């Protein structure tokens, strides 16, 4: 791919670094921002309709110094949310959770909650597509990790196994999603490979 000025992109794996140099291709961007931009691209290109789910909030106290300057002073979450994103792609329901970790060796299962796992299992039982998108911020690597792999680790932690998923296991069982220009986290390319 060429940049708008005509210069060629050099893949990160072939870039030479001094010992004190680090590459941050999308520094300042969070995984959520990248996925939201990707979903906007999918929607504009008529590829998929996938949105971030709003978290249900109960507003308790609002100050109205004037109507145009209302300030929410107190509120609370009505209920535990399920997963971050859902929608439709190629006639199939898609549901996924997005998580970013600074951990270099593993993905802590404490980042996921029981009600989310229950929800993902229900989605799969109904024939939906369900997965995690995990970004290891330290390596600037993003993976699609199928929900059934998560379930194995989730259930095993209650039988005395690790309370995390090793980075190597995510690399081995997950699917690397390279950073791209328009679809920054082009997870549908992986969904096509795995589910269709």
Show the tokens assigned to 37: 């931009």
* Contact in structure between 157 and 113 (CB atoms under 8 Å): no
**What 3-state DSSP class applies to 45?**
coil
Distance in angstroms (rounded) separating the CA atoms of residues 90 and 159: 38
The owner of tokens 């995984």 is 31
Distance in angstroms (rounded) separating the CA atoms of residues 111 and 77: 18
Q: How many helical (H) and strand (E) elements, i.e. helices and strands, does the chain have?
A: 5, 10
Within 10 angstroms of residue 156's Cβ, the number of other Cβ atoms is 13
Which helix (H) or strand (E) segment holds residue 43: the answer is helix 31-44
Residue 116 is assigned to a ligand binding site = yes
CA 85 and chain centroid, separation: 8
Residue 63 is assigned to a ligand binding site = no
Annotated binding residues for Mg(2+), as ranges? 82, 84, 97, 116
Annotated binding residues, as ranges? 82, 84, 97, 116
């Amino acid at each position: 791919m060429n940049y708008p000025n005509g210069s060629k992109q050099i893949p990160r794996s072939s870039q030479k670094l001094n010992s004190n140099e680090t590459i941050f291709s999308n520094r300042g961007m969070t995984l959520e921002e990248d996925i939201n931009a990707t979903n906007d691209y999918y929607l504009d290109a008529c590829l998929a309709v996938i949105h971030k789910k709003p978290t249900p909030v109960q507003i308790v106290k609002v100050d109205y110094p004037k109507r145009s300057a209302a300030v929410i002073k107190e509120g609370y979450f009505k209920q535990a949310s399920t997963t971050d994103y859902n929608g439709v792609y190629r006639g199939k329901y898609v549901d996924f959770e997005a998580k970013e970790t600074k951990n270099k060796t593993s993905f802590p299962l404490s980042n996921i909650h029981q009600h989310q796992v229950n929800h993902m299992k229900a989605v799969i039982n109904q024939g939906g597509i369900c997965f995690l998108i995990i970004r290891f911020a330290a390596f600037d690597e993003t993976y699609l990790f199928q929900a059934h792999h998560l379930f194995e680790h989730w259930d095993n932690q209650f039988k005395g196994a690790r309370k995390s998923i090793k980075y190597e296991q995510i690399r081995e069982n997950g699917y690397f999603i390279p950073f791209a220009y328009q679809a920054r986290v082009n997870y549908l390319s992986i969904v096509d490979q795995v589910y269709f």
